[in-house]
Structure 1
Amino acid sequence: MSMSWAHVRFMLERARGLVRRGLASLRTRGLGPTWARVRRQFARRAPPASEPLYFPDAGAFQPFAVPASDAPRTSIVIPVYNQAAHTLACLRALAEHPPTAACEIIVVDDGSHDETHAWMPQIAGLRYHRRAVNGGFIAACNDGASRATGDCLVFLNNDTVPQPGWLDALLATFDAHPEVGLVGAQLIYPDGRLQEAGGVVFNDGSAWNYGRFDSPDDPRYASVRDADYCSGAAIAVRATLFEEVGGFDTRYAPAYYEDTDLAFALRALGHRVLYQPASRVVHLEGVTSGTDTGSGTKAYQVRNRSVFAEKWAAALATHPSADSLPSAGSVVQPQRQILIIDAETPRPQQDSASLRLANLMRLLNADGAHVVFLPADLRYAGDDTARLRQLGVEAWHAPFVQRPSAWLREHGHRFDVVMLSRHYVATEFLPLVRRFAPQARVVFDTVDLHFLREMRGAELAGDAALRHAAERTRERELSVIRASDTTLVVSPAERDMLSALLPGADVEVLANLHEVAHTGLPFGQRHDLVFVGGFRHPPNVDAVLWFGREVFPLIHVRQPDIRFHCIGTAPPADVLALQAQPGIMIHGHVADLGPYMDGARVAVAPLRFGAGVKGKVNLSMAHGQPVVATACAVEGMHLTSGHDVLVADDAAGFADAVLTLYRDEELWERLAAHGRANIEQHFSMEAAHGTVQRVFRR
């Protein structure tokens, strides 16, 4: 009964919030854009569309070729003992979907007496080695590794069907995480059920295939994660490290526990062992050795457990007991677990708030925390969700979350910190968090002070109704701040404002987070002006309309060759209409901003109202692109006009500043250098490290 009331209360607050925001949107955006937002809010939440599993044709043997290289980055070692048909299917899969990375494929025949010896020599590009006598899985793998020439070793069972992209995903993990020693694939049964999402080892040496028989798309198993071990059916390991630990330990011969032992040995050297869900491999499991641990080779699994437990007794002492099955919370212990809830999944390619949030999650992961993300809209966001998961974020969505109240009741006990972004999200979720995660520290991330932005917009429009709505937003926002343990703002100016309004509040500044990029093209090779900002944000609409109607015509008449590139998602009709003016180009969403950051000479930020720190200014400065802005656009950003930015608030002054900067190479170089220095000092990942530690480690 209590659970029902929690959900009802949550839904009532959500309904009130949607009505409030809908009315505010009608006043500021009009009917068309508001209706588009409503449709987007209530669109059907489609589950992720998993690619159907790929299986090669099972026709009679015919000679074919597999990928091969004289200078491979990776060596794929496939130990085989009979089961020629399965080996053939595995090799056909490698041939039909070759990896991008240069590779060699080594089949080590451990004394087969079926068609293996007849078929393998006919496969072009394959390195085939036939052992004189059967020595077992470990001996065959070590033999293959000794013949490999790649920097990375990949051990692949012959009873597998690697899915397209599997190897490139494994290798990309090493590129993204230099401290990693071993990466394991997601193993899937032929019927599509999950076989293993990394392994869990208990304190008695026994092990568990995490996720067995569940959906491979379940968020618990869909993110990059540290694992106790990964099954040797499909793992990648740095060749130098494999040699350093002496290969697979022969005390486990002929097979079983050698992969678990390897993971522990690499971790003892200071290297991570990661599970990579983007690398999918179908595994038939038990084709060669069966599944009966009472007889045959499989019996060594029982014997080797005690061998392993004795060797790694000290390390196992910190592992959990086998009394209960692993859960999403237990498999990442003893890491701090941090839940972040925002309105929707961040889209770093589209808006600065998303980039800030994604970079914050990167910082938290780098600091040793495990981050869980829940979008309030519960929508699966395709590539944006996938990108979070590759960062190591456990990203949830429908249909795996049906009701936030039920999800928090199940998972709330996991979290040390819960961060709620935006006041309307926090208003809905705070009661649930306090009830189901009472142990968690609650951090409220304002993103920017919404009431301040709304108040300035109302003043610019001279609209009493908008002013009244802004006052109501102010009360709601301040109420959330009072109910939270810590509040994050993006600028010292906003912190000082809150200190005056709520002297007892714990307020920290966490500004926009950027990585300083390369400098792009030199002054002489750059041309034109650029603006970047999503048009679901009313200040951006007003800024572009003012610039396009009042400022750019003054620029165009004095230098007609300058073009204005306007980039941002969902430009409304009046913004699109600006294209009728000579020199104005409205691009909408652009997947790759690089050419505009590196090639446009001057960025403009003509904002006439707003709040917080402006990501468009940060973005340009991080790329060494000087900015002309209004005072509102650079508020709280530690910038001085003439030193690292040019500031003007009237149309004529703004046009003069743009043309001066556009024509003066010495000024351009000076502002570019100082702008990059500003990012490094105030808006870089390094600059935020202290604040992140104070807020999320406290």
Structure 2
Amino acid sequence: MNHIQTVLIIGFVWPEPNSSAAGGRMLQLITQFQQQGYSITFASPAMDSDFMVDLAALNVDKKTIALNCSSFDIFVKELNPAIVLFDRFMIEEQFGWRVAENCPNALRILDTEDLHCLRSARQKAFKAHRDFVITDTLKEEVAKREIASILRCDLSLIISEFEMELLEKIFKIDSQLLYYLPFLLEPISQSTFEKLPSFEERNDFVFIGNFLHEPNWNAVQYLKESIWPLIRKQLPNTNLNIYGAYPSQKALQLHQPKDGFYIKGRANDANEVVQNARIVLAPLRFGAGIKGKLIEAIQCGTPSITTSIGAESMQGNLPWNGFITDDVTEFTKAAAELYMDKQLWTTAQQNGIAIINQRYSKEKFENDFAAKIQFLLANLSQHRLDNFMGALLQHHTLTSTKYMSRWIETKNSKEKKN
């Protein structure tokens, strides 16, 4: 009888698919590995949250682990996973060396989610009122950590083609270490769309996004100060409903019913909220990755108006399901037109179906991803020999990380004794 091999996923947080796109992405990866015949253990040093997914219901073992503690070494050695997936580079920094030391033959995969150095460089350029240039990413302190993590891993999953190009051309990462894997979605049938609320049954505008994510909070402020007053002037009977997990006090203070601007907080059912809106507004001015809110809008049959950063790497050469513009006046004009014109709205909705089915349909990626994993597992020693920079970083960086972690562990145990 064949022994079922394990994939160990080490999460930065427990997956919350209803709070962020990252949570949904993680469930897609879990499904992929289960389909390939692996059993899954999900471990995280994070506290449990009220909104985390029920891992047991997904047939996933849950394990709470400690930072800077050799108890992880014992745990990982006993588990002896065939594959370890790190959720973001910070987790690889913490646990990568321990995995390499205790399970040297495990395939180490990094899920980048989105490139932090790109998001950070764009945010700084935005705040300094200057244009972002691609080489700004090289100056980011976080880039050194993020790229080191990519080099140390056997494979990094990249969600956006723009980020693939950035890593290969600007950071000169060997393409063998990178794998383009966007959101993996069910294709949309025309009959599914026919069951959704019609143009006439929908009203108002919606923005949805986790408030802990800086690009979302910035977009909400931008809507409040610059965009919504202009839309409201053209469409005085409409409202903008802002939904998102973890709203701050500052966000709640923007609630202005007399201006049709409503801060609603967490949506109990994001799909329902988006399906009943006529249009999604997403004026993102910095960020990275692929935007879950815009994918969700398409799946709900809701056209969207966003910026070039919002739509980056999302539609390839297909028409957008709405409008893409970085100009406030254009944004406002597009919102009013799309809101009032049923034909324009229906065409936008159809454009969305094509984007999902041609760019994100999971069957386009599943077999190739499984084959890539099998190939790496079968050729791991050669793959690592070819990645000398990774071996060098593993040797040096992790020696320093290891001793720092050991020092913290010793210090903690001394404090407990005292």
Shift, 1:362, TM fit: 1.6
Q: Cα deviation per residue 1:288-340 (whole Å; 9 max; x = unaligned)? A: xxxxxxxxxxxxxxxxxxxxxxxxxxxxxx3xxxxxxxxxxxxxx62231111
CA distance 1:603–1:689, shift in 2 (3 Å): same
Shift, 1:531, TM fit: 1.1
CA distance 1:680–1:655, shift in 2 (3 Å): same
Q: Runs of 4 or more off by more than 4 Å in structure 1?
A: 401-404, 467-470, 639-643
Q: Cα deviation per residue 1:668-693 (whole Å; 9 max; x = unaligned)? A: 11111221221122223323313431
Q: Whole-Å Cα distance in 2 between the matches of residues 483 and 557 of structure 1? A: 54
CA distance 1:491–1:627, shift in 2 (3 Å): same
Task: Tell whether 2:232 aligns with 1:561.
Answer: no
Q: Whole-Å Cα distance in 2 between the matches of residues 468 and 481 of structure 1? A: 15
Equivalent residue for 1:603, pick from 280, 285, 294 = 280
Equivalent residue for 2:10, pick from 338, 341, 349 = 341
Equivalent residue for 1:419, pick from 61, 85, 88 = 85
CA distance 1:404–1:685, shift in 2 (3 Å): farther
Q: Cα deviation per residue 1:108-161 (whole Å; 9 max; x = unaligned)? A: xxxxxxxxxxxxxxxxxxxxxxxxxxxxxxxxxxxxxxxxxxxxxxxxxxxxxx
Letter in 2 for 1:371: I
Shift, 1:504, TM fit: 2.0
Shift, 1:487, TM fit: 0.9
Equivalent residue for 2:225, pick from 546, 549, 559 = 549
Shift, 1:385, TM fit: 4.6
Equivalent residue for 2:72, pick from 399, 404, 407 = 407
**Alignment match, 1:511:** 182
**Alignment match, 1:488:** 157
SS in 1 for 2:268: coil
The 5 Å alignment of 1:114-129 reads none
Larger Rg: 1
Q: Whole-Å Cα distance in 2 between the matches of residues 588 and 382 of structure 1? A: 15
Shift, 1:697, TM fit: 3.0
Shift, 1:516, TM fit: 5.2
**Alignment match, 2:28:** 359
CA distance 1:468–1:688, shift in 2 (3 Å): closer
**Alignment match, 1:630:** 307
Q: Whole-Å Cα distance in 2 between the matches of residues 403 and 530 of structure 1? A: 43
Q: Cα deviation per residue 1:477-521 (whole Å; 9 max; x = unaligned)? A: 111111111111111111111111124251111112334574320
Shift, 1:570, TM fit: 1.8
Q: Cα deviation per residue 1:596-623 (whole Å; 9 max; x = unaligned)? A: 1221011111100001111110111112
* Residues 67, 94 of structure 2: 8 Å contact kept: no
**Alignment match, 1:447:** 113
* Residues 509, 691 of structure 1: 8 Å contact kept: no
* Residues 417, 696 of structure 1: 8 Å contact kept: no
Q: Whole-Å Cα distance in 2 between the matches of residues 539 and 549 of structure 1? A: 15
* Residues 16, 51 of structure 2: 8 Å contact kept: no
Q: Whole-Å Cα distance in 1 between the matches of residues 112 and 102 of structure 2? A: 22
* Residues 197, 275 of structure 2: 8 Å contact kept: yes
Shift, 1:342, TM fit: 1.6
Equivalent residue for 2:144, pick from 462, 469, 475 = 475
SS in 2 for 1:365: helix
Letter in 1 for 2:182: A
Task: Tell whether 2:41 aligns with 1:372.
Answer: yes
Task: Tell whether 2:52 aligns with 1:384.
Answer: yes
Q: Whole-Å Cα distance in 2 between the matches of residues 598 and 468 of structure 1? A: 37
Whichever structure has more helix as a proportion of its residues is 2
Letter in 2 for 1:354: G
CA distance 1:591–1:692, shift in 2 (3 Å): farther
Q: Whole-Å Cα distance in 2 between the matches of residues 534 and 448 of structure 1? A: 15
Letter in 2 for 1:600: A
SS in 2 for 1:682: helix
Shift, 1:575, TM fit: 2.6
Q: Cα deviation per residue 1:91-111 (whole Å; 9 max; x = unaligned)? A: xxxxxxxxxxxxxxxxxxxxx
**Alignment match, 1:437:** 103
Shift, 1:402, TM fit: 8.6
Q: Whole-Å Cα distance in 2 between the matches of residues 561 and 629 of structure 1? A: 22
Shift, 1:667, TM fit: 1.4
* Residues 481, 487 of structure 1: 8 Å contact kept: yes
Shift, 1:644, TM fit: 2.9
* Residues 385, 395 of structure 1: 8 Å contact kept: no
Q: Among the aligned pairs, what percent are the same residue? A: 27
Q: Whole-Å Cα distance in 2 between the matches of residues 433 and 612 of structure 1? A: 27
CA distance 1:443–1:695, shift in 2 (3 Å): farther
CA distance 1:425–1:530, shift in 2 (3 Å): same
* Residues 284, 306 of structure 2: 8 Å contact kept: yes
CA distance 1:404–1:370, shift in 2 (3 Å): farther
Point out where structure 2 has 5 or more consecutive residues left out of the alignment.
131-135, 376-418
CA distance 1:383–1:578, shift in 2 (3 Å): closer
Root-mean-square deviation (CA), in Å? 2.4
SS in 1 for 2:108: strand
SS in 2 for 1:373: strand
CA distance 1:571–1:354, shift in 2 (3 Å): same
* Residues 423, 477 of structure 1: 8 Å contact kept: yes
SS in 2 for 1:487: strand
Task: Tell whether 2:213 aligns with 1:533.
Answer: no
Q: Whole-Å Cα distance in 1 between the matches of residues 68 and 53 of structure 2? A: 19
CA distance 1:642–1:560, shift in 2 (3 Å): farther
Letter in 2 for 1:509: Y
SS in 2 for 1:575: helix
Q: Cα deviation per residue 1:245-281 (whole Å; 9 max; x = unaligned)? A: xxxxxxxxxxxxxxxxxxxxxxxxxxxxxxxxxxxxx
Letter in 1 for 2:48: Y
Letter in 2 for 1:414: N
**Alignment match, 2:297:** 620
Equivalent residue for 2:365, pick from 681, 688, 691 = 688
Q: Whole-Å Cα distance in 2 between the matches of residues 639 and 669 of structure 1? A: 20
Shift, 1:350, TM fit: 0.6
SS in 1 for 2:8: strand
Letter in 1 for 2:174: G
Q: Whole-Å Cα distance in 2 between the matches of residues 509 and 454 of structure 1? A: 21
Q: Whole-Å Cα distance in 1 between the matches of residues 63 and 236 of structure 2? A: 50
SS in 2 for 1:340: strand
Q: Whole-Å Cα distance in 2 between the matches of residues 373 and 561 of structure 1? A: 48
Letter in 1 for 2:172: L
Shift, 1:562, TM fit: 1.2
SS in 2 for 1:566: strand
Q: Whole-Å Cα distance in 2 between the matches of residues 424 and 538 of structure 1? A: 18
The 5 Å alignment of 1:44-193 reads none
Q: Cα deviation per residue 1:427-455 (whole Å; 9 max; x = unaligned)? A: 11111110111110111111100000000
Q: Whole-Å Cα distance in 2 between the matches of residues 537 and 469 of structure 1? A: 23
* Residues 319, 351 of structure 2: 8 Å contact kept: no
Shift, 1:654, TM fit: 0.7
SS in 2 for 1:418: strand
Query: TM-score if structure 1 supplies the norm length?
Result: 0.49
**Alignment match, 2:324:** 647
- In the comparison of the two structures, how many residue pairs are matched? 362
SS in 2 for 1:395: strand
Query: TM-score if structure 2 supplies the norm length?
Result: 0.81
Task: Tell whether 2:258 aligns with 1:594.
Answer: no
CA distance 1:585–1:515, shift in 2 (3 Å): farther
* Residues 17, 53 of structure 2: 8 Å contact kept: no
